[in-house]
Chain A
Amino acid sequence: DARVTQTPRHKVTEMGQEVTMRCQPILGHNTVFWYRQTMMQGLELLAYFRNRAPLDDSGMPKDRFSAEMPDATLATLKIQPSEPRDSAVYFCASGFGDTQYFGPGTRLTVL
């Protein structure tokens, strides 16, 4: 049963620290998405890749967030420096064609 995996599942950090979240997409999927979910804003798209190329990162605060796909089995989302308002659940999703399959998420708390 192929699944998207994300690490870490939980992260508590202090304001100003760097945070790195990792995602392993489902083998054979050619699209990868990073989302942030909060109670107030719901599910927001941060960035999306197709065949490892970044296609849209307009949802990301550019000064502190960065997303990369160093290879087909790994996507990363970095926040530097982190701020309390970044506290949220971050989801990675992968897909092929129109559908997307989500990972379990990284719950981030910035103190």
Chain B
Amino acid sequence: QKEVEQDPGPLSVPEGAIVSLNCTYSNSAFQYFMWYRQYSRKGPELLMYTYSSGNKEDGRFTAQVDKSSKYISLFIRDSQPSDSATYLCAMGGRAEYGNKLVFGAGTILRVKS
């Protein structure tokens, strides 16, 4: 079993839809959680990070963490064709991982205009 599970998709939605991207994890040592966005032929770009359970909002993006269920989500409101990319979740915990991050496989998102 992988430490971080992420549905690879692809997920295809119409423009304006609310998108939900999810990851589950098995190691309770993870303390902080991140989402990266990767456009085709580009490097991953840090989108959001959070350290605690609950919600964190940034514009159209909301990151949600539920440590009790070992489940994290990224919600995108009013999705745009420019949101089409691969979204990778990542997580870390200093005691066990140092500065390393464990990445999910990435979910391919396609927003159709």
Cα distance A50–B98 in the bound complex, in angstroms: 10
| Chain A residues closer than 8 Å to B94, beta-carbon distance | 98
Cα distance A107–B103 in the bound complex, in angstroms: 20
Known contacts A42-B106, A43-B88, A98-B92: A55-B43 contact under CB 8 Å:
no
Known contacts A42-B106, A48-B100: A99-B42 contact under CB 8 Å:
no
| Chain B residues closer than 8 Å to A107, beta-carbon distance | 41
Cβ–Cβ contact A98 & B88, under 8 A: no
| Chain A residues closer than 8 Å to B75, beta-carbon distance | none
Known contacts A42-B103, A42-B105, A42-B106: A102-B98 contact under CB 8 Å:
no
Q: Is B34 an interface residue (CB 8 A)?
A: yes
Cα distance A45–B90 in the bound complex, in angstroms: 12
Q: Which of the residues B41, B88, B100 comes within 8 Å of A56, measured between beta carbons?
A: B100
Q: Which of the residues A45, A50, A105 comes within 8 Å of B43, measured between beta carbons?
A: A105
Chain A stretch 74-99: residues in CB contact (< 8 A) with chain B: 91, 93, 95, 97-99
B36 smallest CB distance to A (angstroms)? 8
Number of A-B contacts (CB under 8 A): 46
Chief secondary structure at chain A's binding surface: strand
Cα distance A36–B106 in the bound complex, in angstroms: 14
Known: A45-B100, A50-B99. 12 other contacts (CB 8 A): A42-B103, A42-B105, A42-B106, A43-B44, A48-B98, A56-B100, A98-B99, A99-B46, A100-B99, A101-B46, A102-B36, A103-B43
18 residue pairs bridging A and B, Cβ less than 8 Å apart: A31-B99, A42-B106, A43-B88, A45-B100, A50-B99, A55-B98, A91-B44, A93-B43, A97-B99, A98-B32, A98-B99, A99-B34, A100-B46, A102-B44, A103-B43, A104-B42, A105-B42, A107-B41
